[in-house]
Amino acid sequence: TASLVGAVVALGGCTATQENGDAVTGIIPAPVEFELTHGAPFTITDETRFVASGDAAAVAETFAAQARLATGFDLPVVDGGTAASDIALVIDAEAGTGEEAYTLESGADGVRIAAPSPAGLFRGTQTLRQLLPAEIERADASTAPDGGWTVPAASVADAPRFAYRGSMLDVARHFFPVQDVLDHIDRIAMLKLNVLHLHLTDDQGWRLQIDSWPQLTGIGASTSTGGDGGGFYSKADYARIVEYAAERFVTVVPEIDLPGHTNAALSAYPELNCDGVAPQPYEGIEVGFSSLCASPERAEATDRFLADVLGEVAEMTPGPWLHVGGDESLATSEADYLDLVRRIAAAGAATGKTVIGWHEMGASRELPAGTVGQYWDFVAPRDDAAEHTTSFVEQGGSVILSPADVAYLDMKYPDDPDGPLGGKLGQLWADGPTTLEEAYGWEPTAIVPGLAETDILGVEAPVWTETLGTADELEFMVFPRITAIAEIAWSPAPDGGAARDASDFGARLASLGTHLDALGIDYRKVDGVAWV
C-alpha cells in the first residue's frame, strides 16, 4: 500500500498542496484547478468587510458569523464598494457551470469568490476556510495565529464531480442530540458534502415525531442498542436540523427503514404485526429479524401506516428525496418483500418525493420511475448486488455508491484495540478493518459493471452506530476517513484511469488535521499521515 506520508512540495496544476511558511496549506477535496499565484497574501484585519448583496449576503453572513468568533473583528456584511481589505462574494453566471461551481481569487487586492448560485458561493467559502489558519475554527478569539489571518495568493476554479455527496448518520441504534447533528453538519459542509442522510428508524429505536402515530416515539423511542437510553427529534428539532443544514447548502434525506429493521415500530403498534402481538423493544445488534406484515388482513393498517408516516416525513422535509430503506429484510419471504416494496415505494412516490432505497430494492421491477438505489455491497460485488443495482438504472433511476468495505465509517481501523477509546468501537463484517488508503483508493465507476458516470448520482459514507454511543466515539470513527470519501465524491478522477495520488492527499490531510484539532474533533490520527 502506498504510504500517505507525502513530501510537502509546491505543486502546480490541480493539486492543492503547498509550502506556506512552516504550515502546509492543503484543500480537501482537491479543487479542479488550484494555483498559487505567488503574489502577496491577503490578510483579514479589523478593517475587513464582507461585500455581498442579495442572496450572496446570507452566505457571507454564515461565514462571517464564525470568523467574528475566531478573530474578534467586526467583519460587517455590506452591500457594495469593495476595498483591498475586503472579501467579496459575487453571483456571476460566468463563474462556472452548475449549481455548486465557484471561482476564488485571493491576494493583496482582496478575496473575490464568484459563483453562478449561492450554493457555489458557499462551497467557495469552505475553500477559503481551509486556506485560512486553523485558528479560524475556534469559538473564541483567544488564540490568534502568529502570522495573522493570512490567505495565500491563489486562484481556484472548482466544481463537483457528483451532484450527491452524502454522509449518513445512524441515529436509530444510538440517539444523538440535535447539537451533535448540527456539529456534524458543519464538519461535513467543510468537506463540501451536500447531503445529510439521517437513518431515523431501526429495530432499536424510532427517532422522529409522527403526529398520526404517536406511540412510534411514545414507545419506540425509549430504547437504543445496549440499553443506553433513547430519544427522538420533535418536529421542531427536525426543522432546526433542516434549517441549519440548508444554511450550509446541505440537504437532509430522511430514512424510514422498511419493511425490515422495524422492531421499534412493531413494538409500538400491535396492528402492524401479522400475529397482532407487539414484540418487546430490542437493544441488541442483530439485523434481519423484523418485518412489516404483507398479509391482506393487515393491509389496511400497514398501508395507512405507510401513507401517514411517509406523508408526514415528506411534509417536514424540503429536500427532494425520501429514503425508504429496503435493506436486509431477511425475515420477509421473497414474495412478501416484493409486495411490500411495491407498496412502500408507491407510498413514498405518492408524497411527491424521489424515492431512495438500499440496493436490495432493485429486486422489484415495479419501482416508481426515477427511484434511486444505494449500493452497499463490497468494491467487488457479491451475490445479486450488482444486478439489483443496475435494476434501478433500467427503471429510469440512478445510483448512490456506498461500498461497505471502503465507505462504511463504522468499520474498525486496522490497529484499533488499544486506541484511546478502547477496542469496542466499530465492526469488522465488511471484509475486516478499513484503512485510510482503502477509503481513498476506489473509483465509483469501477464498482458495478455497466454503470456509467451519468448513472451515478453520487457517493455516500454511512456511519452505523451499534458500537458508537457518544459524539466523541462518532468523531473518532468518522474522521479522517470521511475526508477520503468526500474527495472521491467531489474531485475529478485522474486521467486515464490512474490511481489518485495518496501521498498528495496525505499531505493535505495533515493540513486539514490542524483545522480538525482547532474544532476540537477527537479524530483517529492514523499511521502514515504526518499529522502536524
Contact 171, 181 (CB under 8 A): yes
Helix, strand, or coil here: 150?
Answer: strand
Helix axes 178-190, 471-478, angle to 10 degrees: 20
Shortest distance (Å) from residue 480 CB to ligand TNX: 19
**What b/e readout covers 28-56, taking b as 16+ CB neighbours within 10 angstroms?**
bbbbbbbbbeeeebbebeeebbbbbeeeb
CA pair distance 168, 199, nearest whole angstrom? 7
Place of cell 406484515: 293
Of 135-174, binders to ligand TNX (CB under 6 A) are none
Note whether 328 binds ligand TNX by CB under 6 A: yes
CA pair distance 100, 185, nearest whole angstrom? 17
User: In Å, how far from its chain's centre is CA 445?
Assistant: 20
CA pair distance 323, 196, nearest whole angstrom? 12
Shortest distance (Å) from residue 254 CB to ligand TNX: 16
Helix, strand, or coil here: 14?
Answer: coil
Shortest distance (Å) from residue 408 CB to ligand TNX: 6
Of 466-495, binders to ligand TNX (CB under 6 A) are 466
CA pair distance 197, 170, nearest whole angstrom? 9
**Residue 432 or 520 having the CB closest to ligand TNX:** 432
> Annotated catalytic, 328?
yes
**Residue 427 or 503 having the CB closest to ligand TNX:** 427
Shortest distance (Å) from residue 409 CB to ligand TNX: 9
Give CA angle at 215 (214, 218), nearest 5°.
100
Note whether 464 binds ligand TNX by CB under 6 A: yes
Shortest distance (Å) from residue 19 CB to ligand TNX: 40
Shortest distance (Å) from residue 1 CB to ligand TNX: 23
**Residue 176 or 358 having the CB closest to ligand TNX:** 358
The set of cell numbers assigned to 287 is: 439485523
Place of cell 463484517: 429
**Residue 244 or 464 having the CB closest to ligand TNX:** 464
- The closest of 343, 347, 332, 377 to 359, measured between CA atoms, is 377
Q: What is the CB-side half-sphere exposure of residue 40 using CA atoms within 13 A? A: 7
**How many residues sit in the footprint of ligand TNX (CB under 6 A)?**
11
**Residue 151 or 169 having the CB closest to ligand TNX:** 169
Residue 9, Cβ neighbours under 10 Å: how many? 12
Residue 302 phi, psi dihedral angles, 5° rounding: -65, -45
**Residue 247 or 328 having the CB closest to ligand TNX:** 328
Note whether 314 binds ligand TNX by CB under 6 A: no
The set of cell numbers assigned to 120 is: 457555489
Out of 100, 137, 183, 327, the only residue in the binding site for ligand TNX (CB under 6 A) is: 327
> Letter for the amino acid at 71?
T
Note whether 460 binds ligand TNX by CB under 6 A: no
CA distances from 84 to 41, 64, 107, 128 (A): 11, 17, 9, 16
Out of 42, 63, 244, 358, the only residue in the binding site for ligand TNX (CB under 6 A) is: 358
User: In Å, how far from its chain's centre is CA 314?
Assistant: 20
Of 91-120, binders to ligand TNX (CB under 6 A) are none
**Residue 213 or 464 having the CB closest to ligand TNX:** 464
Note whether 232 binds ligand TNX by CB under 6 A: no
Note whether 287 binds ligand TNX by CB under 6 A: yes
Shortest distance (Å) from residue 358 CB to ligand TNX: 5
Binding mask 381-410 for ligand TNX (x = CB under 6 A): -----------------------x---x-x
Of 34-93, binders to ligand TNX (CB under 6 A) are none
Q: Which of 99, 328, 387, 443 does the annotation list as catalytic?
A: 328
**Residue 88 or 404 having the CB closest to ligand TNX:** 404
- The closest of 352, 460, 351 to 399, measured between CA atoms, is 460
Out of 427, 433, 522, 531, the only residue in the binding site for ligand TNX (CB under 6 A) is: 427
What is the 3 state secondary structure string of 454-483? HHEEEEEEEECCCCCCCHHHHHHHHCCHHH
**Residue 466 or 487 having the CB closest to ligand TNX:** 466
- Concatenating the DSSP letter of every residue in 215-278 gives HHHHTTTS--GGG-----B-HHHHHHHHHHHHHTT-EEEEEEEESSS-HHHHHH-GGGSTTS-P
Note whether 305 binds ligand TNX by CB under 6 A: no
Shortest distance (Å) from residue 170 CB to ligand TNX: 6
Shortest distance (Å) from residue 326 CB to ligand TNX: 8
Binding site for ligand TNX (CB under 6 A): 287, 327-328, 358, 376, 404, 408, 410, 427, 464, 466
Tell me the catalytic residues.
Answer: 328
